[in-house]
Amino acid sequence: MEKQIASLHLVSAFLAMEPTDCVLSHARSLGGGSVTVDVQRFVWDHCISKAIGKCHAPYLKNFLKKLILEIESNHDDVLDELYELYTEFMISLKDENAVKGNVRALKYISFLFPDDASCKDAMVRKLVVPLHCSLNMLEGDTGCSIWPASLFLSEFILSIPDMFSSKTCFEVGSGVGLVGICLSHVKASKAILSDGDLSTLSNMKLNLKMNQLSTGDDEPEFSECSDSVKCLHLPWECASESELQGLEPDIILGADVIYDPLCLPHLVRLLSILVDKSEPSLRFPRAGCDSAIGNSHDYSNRCNSQDVEAARDRAGNASPTKHPIAYISSVIRNANTFDRFLALVDKANLTVADLTGTFQPASLLPYMQSYDRSSIRLFRLSSK
């Protein structure tokens, strides 16, 4: 069973284009500490040979280079196939470092679900999500990148599927569309995905189509991609109150949207319109478990495990609420920006509850060493 899990993690990390050092660490684990000939054969058969012509070529070349160096440094034999393919890349990819601009590649994000975590011989189910995404997130193509908070929010949705099943969900700043794809997987009655950038929206629709959630070419303003998924071009500063009220979501979601001080007033206005002003029905967690946020640096309040389990039960069994709730996952990179967000939220008559200490989603991406869950915070917004 351990070898089965190690091989699954290795393949999943490779398909997700995890950093090469991460993939190599999984290869070592599979080989009991070194990349043996058997592990090389497994990597060739299940990763490299299937990726030729599909995987981002510079990534594959770099992986081959480090894999060969790893094997040679241990004075082990290298498969001829690895040498031959690397030689081909050396000839054909001489100038790959000169490639600039919005370079994008196809990644496969695999969510792994153990059927019974307590059973040693448990099999693992998986949801594999192909995503066309950017490799230059620092060069103006941030909307087409996969951000940690989006991975966390996706794990959150997949961990409590009954909370989102049969609900109308609206996401602000949907980026590559990963959260919407997960909402569709848990049978949300409708998932409305939005972004203010048309290029990002176009890429999002491509990803929906790859995940069998698109019915064809759609107009850029508001279009159905399937029976349950819709795409909306929504610049925050231009969104009208009537347009937002017409969406009528049960749940509002956002991943890493608290980052630009200039955009925060528009974001909070949008959230205040979408979130009902009356007292919301409490679903998850109960009011006594909320961490009251008066200071953005005070994260010490916690709930006990019984509270969390009860909250999860209510999340799955509660009757539909007519009062929308917003869930925001975020990495707080700048404390002043986050303080500004809190001040605007308070002024908009909204309440923020920090759920980070009361609930952690199931770890569905255990192979992804580049994904640091500990840096991500989860907030719930409701009306006062």
Dump pLDDT digits (tens) for 59-87. 999 999 999 999 999 999 999 999 999 99
Average pLDDT over the chain, rounded to an integer: 82
Q: What is the arithmetic mean of pLDDT over 276-300?
A: 36
More confident residue, 341 or 240: 341
In whole angstroms, give the CA distance from residue 89 to residue 91.
5
Q: How far is CA 175 from the centre of its chain?
A: 10
pLDDT of 384: 83
Contact status, residue 37 vs residue 74, Cβ threshold 8 Å: no
Is pLDDT at 261 greater than 80 in this prediction? yes
Instruction: Say how far apart CA 224 and CA 360 lie, in whole Å.
Output: 32
Lowest mean pLDDT among 189-203, 286-300, 306-320, 367-381: 286-300
**Dist CA 196 CA 204 (whole Å):** 12
How much is the pLDDT for 291? 33
* Res 134: pLDDT: 85
Which pLDDT does position 214 carry in this prediction? 62
Rama region for 108: left / alpha / beta (φ>0; ψ in -120 to 50; rest): beta
Give the per-residue pLDDT at 218: 47
Residue 286's closest CA among 259, 319, 314? 314
Rg over CA atoms, the chain: 22
What pLDDT score was predicted for residue 114? 79
Give the pLDDT band (50/70/90) at residue 54. Answer: confident
pLDDT at 223: 54
Reported as a pLDDT band with limits 50, 70 and 90, residue 229 is: confident
Q: Look at strands 104-114 and 124-134 and give their pairing.
A: antiparallel
Q: What is the pTM of this model?
A: 0.83
Confidence band, pLDDT 50/70/90 cuts, at residue 282: very low
Residue 260's CB: how many other CB atoms inside 10 A?
A: 11
If we measure between CA atoms, which residue out of 84, 90, 82, 4 comes closest to residue 45? 82
Angle between the N-to-C axes of helices 335-347 and 264-274, in degrees from 0 to 180, rounded to the nearest 10: 40
Q: How far apart are the first and last CA of the chain?
A: 50
- Residue 92, pLDDT score: 81
Q: What is the pLDDT of residue 354?
A: 95
- What residue ranges define each of the domains in the chain, with the CATH number in brackets? 2-98 (no CATH), 137-383 (3.40.50.150)
The amino acid sitting at 263 is C
Alpha carbon distance 23, 258 (integer Å): 31
CB 149 within 8 A of CB 256: yes
Query: Which of 346, 353, 189, 349 minimizes the C-alpha distance to 276?
Result: 349
Task: Note the pLDDT of residue 292.
Answer: 31
Largest CA distance in the chain: 69
| Partners of 257 in the β-ladder | none
Given a cut of 90, whether residue 8 has pLDDT beyond it is yes
Residue-level pLDDT at 55: 83
Percent of the chain whose pLDDT exceeds 90: 62
